[in-house]
Amino acid sequence: MESSRIAVAGASGLIGSALVRSLRADGHEVVRLVRRAARERDEVRWNPEEGYVDAAGLAGCDAVVNLAGAGVGDRRWTEEYKRTVRDSRVRGTSTLAEAVAALERRPRVFVNGSAIGFYGDTGDRAVDESAPPGEGFLPALCVEWEGAAAPAQEAGVRTVFARTGLVVARSGGAWARLFPLFKAGLGGRMGDGRQYWSYISLHDEVAALRHLIDTDGLSGPVNLTAPHPRTNREITAAMGRVLHRPTLLPVPAAVLRTVLGEMAGDVLGSARVLPARLLASGFAFAFPDIEDSIRAAETQP
């Protein structure tokens, strides 16, 4: 891909910051959307709560990537925080989609974050992008989140929904909480351990996002998950092997429900999600297996 100008919302997050580093390392110009007054030449101010973005800062962008949103696992799911999670995604997406649609020279592609929470609890049934949404808070959120990108789609901008799984990384996301526990010898399966976790290494997540940007003709939902989902029991064992720690202390389902509240349903639920469209488009995973992903996370900053 030739050098491009790419705007990234959520550039300070786990995935966004890694994407920005990767793009800049290859000579691309990155514009970071910030919620305060712009202080650096590469910053563009926006305020998704108010539906505002400095559209002039998006001028000339070849791609816009939206990874912004309050963390799903950052706090207990109170009704107030669920509204925060919803609004941060839906309003942010609609703000950017409308700005993209209004540009005189529109970008080639709008890559919008989404999540495998779209599918809900799939049990041991494998699903790909052809599956309908599940039931519950996260599926409903994902449907609305993706729907908010309609202005960009209707304006003819290639729009891709990156339905991301659990990102294996030490510096953020769910795995950032797991690594210290397992290193302390306190890691163990959650509930009965039979629930599937669909994961992806941070390296492959960034590579996949860049693949979505670069692959003309690829639009709509694309699952960003490794090709071999594993059960929580299998992942627990892999963490123990890689970190050389015992994994003998299971976390009972009742304890998870007490600590996490409604969110426990997603931890105890099962999502066996396959990256059918990503593989069909020619993407090659660097770390397709769970042990490789864990080892890669151990070597990353």
**pTM score, whole prediction:** 0.93
Distances (CA, A) of 273 to 163, 176, 228, 262, 270: 10, 22, 9, 22, 9
SS3 129: coil
pLDDT digits (tens, 9 = 90+) for 190-228: 888 899 999 999 999 999 999 999 999 999 999 999 999
Give CA–CA dist 137/79, Å, rounded.
Answer: 11
Distances (CA, A) of 8 to 17, 57, 94, 260: 9, 11, 15, 31
Residue ranges per domain, the chain?
5-299
User: Which tokens belong to 272?
Assistant: 């066996």
Indicate the pairing of strand 5-9 with strand 29-34: parallel
244 dihedral zone (left: phi>0; alpha: psi -120 to 50; beta): left
Indicate the pairing of strand 52-53 with strand 43-47: antiparallel
Indicate the pairing of strand 52-53 with strand 199-201: unpaired
Counts of helices then strands in the chain (DSSP H, E): 11, 12
Q: 């912004």: which residue's tokens? A: 68
Residue 173 sits at the vertex; the CA angle it makes with 169 and 177, to the nearest 5 degrees, is 85
- pLDDT by residue for the chain (301 residues), tens only, comes to 578 999 999 999 999 999 999 999 999 999 999 999 989 999 999 999 999 999 999 999 999 999 998 777 656 668 888 898 899 999 999 999 999 999 999 999 999 999 999 999 999 999 999 999 999 889 999 999 999 999 999 999 999 999 999 999 998 887 887 888 888 887 888 888 899 999 999 999 999 999 999 999 999 999 999 999 999 999 999 999 999 998 877 766 565 555 555 555 555 679 999 999 999 999 999 999 999 999 999 887 6
> What CATH number matches the domain at 5-299, 3.30.750.24, 2.40.30.10, 3.40.605.10, 3.40.50.720?
3.40.50.720
At 82, give phi and psi (nearest 5°). Answer: -60, -40
What is 183-248 written as a DSSP string?
HTT----BTTS-SEE-EEEHHHHHHHHHHHHH-TT--EEEEES-SS-EEHHHHHHHHHHHHT----
Predicted local confidence at residue 186, as pLDDT: 79
